[in-house]
């Protein structure tokens, strides 16, 4: 019986601590609202622990959701071993042909085209990138001079759909090989240059590049009829309910500032 009593006492203490922890924001808010002294200084300690824990979790969750590279790497790896031809989109035959020639998933090539030019063959960027896959002159000429692409695909044909898809597909394949099948790094290099990927040892901290990788991955998941879009999102529950946690954290900050304003000092009421 002594053992049972001691065990029950420990459980009771744990329950008491947990209840105090979760009720502390309400107690602090009530103290500030009524301008009354806290029942005990321990309520402040519980609340401060709750406050710091919420902020740490907020930071970690934000970092995880904004930097899903390892998760996307595992998802996009499907494109390396299970390839599906595209249908009912512009230039489908050319995409399938040159993706096959370079052992690429046609859906991945189409996803890059969708993000780069929205299938506009005459697109030219302010930096001089041209065509469906938005290849810059220097990259095109390098691939041509080193013999990576057929000599008939001269730079002057950059706005021709077949030439552009042929050269762009080859360049994408070279990047995937360079990063040992890591499509996330290959896409980041396609957008920001492999020099920046090597410099930062991963996806560069450029907003444009990070949005680019996520957008291509989203395009890819929507084109893959065998791949549910929901699987692209790391931990759908966190993604869906993140905003509620953000509002909770903001509320905790407001309670703290409200209590400090009403009591003037952390120690005034003690």
Cα–Cα nearest to 208, from 91, 125, 110, 104: 125
Tell me the per-residue pLDDT of 219-244, one tens digit each, with 9 for 90 and over: 998 888 776 555 665 555 666 677 78
Domain spanning 74-232: CATH 3.20.20.70: no
pLDDT on residue 244: 80
Output the six-digit token pair for 237: 């529950």
pLDDT band at 1 (very low <50, low <70, confident <90, very high): very low
Is residue 7 pLDDT above 70, yes or no? no
Domain locations along the chain: 14-66+237-263, 74-232
Separation CA 77–CA 62 (nearest Å): 24
| Residues annotated as part of the active site | 116
Q: What angle do CA 56, 58, 61 make, to 5 degrees?
A: 105
116, with CB counted inside 10 A (0-12, 13-18, 19+), is buried
Is residue 20 pLDDT above 70, yes or no? yes
Contacts for 210 with CB less than 8 Å, ≥ 6 apart: 66, 203
Is residue 179 pLDDT above 60, yes or no? yes
Integer angstrom CA distances of residue 142 from 31, 32, 48, 147, 199? 70, 68, 59, 9, 21
pLDDT band at 269 (very low <50, low <70, confident <90, very high): very low
Tell me the per-residue pLDDT of 22-48, one tens digit each, with 9 for 90 and over: 888 898 888 888 888 888 888 888 898
pLDDT band at 6 (very low <50, low <70, confident <90, very high): low
């Amino acid at each position: 019986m002594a053992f049972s009593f001691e065990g029950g006492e420990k459980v009771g203490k744990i329950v008491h601590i947990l209840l105090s922890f979760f009720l502390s924001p309400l107690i602090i808010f009530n103290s500030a609202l009524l301008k009354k002294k806290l029942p005990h200084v321990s309520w402040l300690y519980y609340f401060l622990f709750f406050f710091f824990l919420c902020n740490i979790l907020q930071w970690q969750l934000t970092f995880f959701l904004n930097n899903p590279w390892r998760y996307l790497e595992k998802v996009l790896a499907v494109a390396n071993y299970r390839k599906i031809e595209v249908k009912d989109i512009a230039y489908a035959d050319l995409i399938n042909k040159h993706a096959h020639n370079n052992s690429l998933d046609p859906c991945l090539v189409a996803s890059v085209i969708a993000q780069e030019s929205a299938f506009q063959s005459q697109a030219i960027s302010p930096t001089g990138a041209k065509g469906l896959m938005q290849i810059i002159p220097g990259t095109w000429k390098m691939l041509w001079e080193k013999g990576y692409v057929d000599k008939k695909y001269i730079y002057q044909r950059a706005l021709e759909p077949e030439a552009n898809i042929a050269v762009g597909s080859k360049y994408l394949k070279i990047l995937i090989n360079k990063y040992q099948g890591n499509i996330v790094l290959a896409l980041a290099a396609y957008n920001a240059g492999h020099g920046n990927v090597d410099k930062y040892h991963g996806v560069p901290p450029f907003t444009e590049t990070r949005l680019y990788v996520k957008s291509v991955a989203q395009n890819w998941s929507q084109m893959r009829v065998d791949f549910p879009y929901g699987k692209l999102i790391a931990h759908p529950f966190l993604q869906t309910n993140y905003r509620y946690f953000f509002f909770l954290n903001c509320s905790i900050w407001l309670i703290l500032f409200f209590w400090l304003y009403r009591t003037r000092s952390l120690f005034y009421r003690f």
